[in-house]
Amino acid sequence: MSRIGKKTINVPNGVTITVGKDNTVTVKGPKGELKEAIDRDIKVEVKDGNLDLSRPTDQIRHKALHGLYRALVSNMVTGVTEGFTKQLELVGVGYKASNQGNSLDLSLGYSHNIIFDVPKELTVKTEQEKGKNPVITFTSADKQLIGQVCAKIRSLRKPEPYKGKGVKFVGEVLRRKAGKSAGK
């Protein structure tokens, strides 16, 4: 568990990291600004282009927090430099997606369309090519937020195991079931 926490985080050029008095880490970069409140037991130090996190003892709780916060800060640095992208695919006859700004209009086989308001920190793009399933692409600097929004949209119509219809991640492998067997 603690091996991840011991790794130092390289801070690329153009990224500034500040640590507040209440142990709040702020990361600013070309793609935006992210903040994370860190537990008071974990010490954060910025030294000549590297960021180090250290823990006071080898208790299980401190080891777990050490690795957790190192991973969160590393994701913040990656987010403000490169950003994150996730894609959802709508599999099913008549399933459609369109967006107007950050308002997503989903047709998922229910009697009504679902209007989903996407947070302003994310950018949404929908694609519908003939003969292919509709794809929704999300991009953001915040990995936690993008994952949470994608999970919420996926929960509106989870993929079912018999035909695979529903909202799934692009590249996600579904476990399929055989269905009813023929009569004897």
Q: How confident is the model at residue 184 (pLDDT cuts 50, 70, 90)?
A: low
Picking from 96, 62, 95, the residue whose alpha carbon sits closest to that of residue 165 is 95
Task: Outline which parts of the chain fall under CATH 3.90.930.12.
Answer: 2-81, 84-169
Options 3.90.930.12, 3.40.1370.10, 3.40.50.300, 1.10.10.10; CATH of 84-169: 3.90.930.12
- In this prediction the pTM is 0.88
- Indicate the average pLDDT of the chain: 91
**SS3 state at 79:** helix
Burial of 38 (0-12, 13-18, 19+ CB in 10 A): buried
Question: Could you give the CA distance from residue 105 to residue 97 in angstroms, rounded to a whole number?
Answer: 6
Q: How confident is the model at residue 1 (pLDDT cuts 50, 70, 90)?
A: very low
Contact 141, 89 (CB under 8 A): no
* Homologous superfamily, domain 2-81: Ribosomal protein L6 (3.90.930.12)
Greater confidence (48 vs 34) lies with: 34
CA torsion sign for 138, 141, 143, 145 is negative
Report pLDDT for 122.
93
Cα pseudo-dihedral 162, 165, 167, 169, rounded to 10: 60
Q: Does pLDDT of 173 surpass 60? A: yes
Neighbour tally for 160: CB within 10 Å? 14
pLDDT above 70 as % of the chain: 97
Q: Encoding tokens for residue 1? A: 């568990």
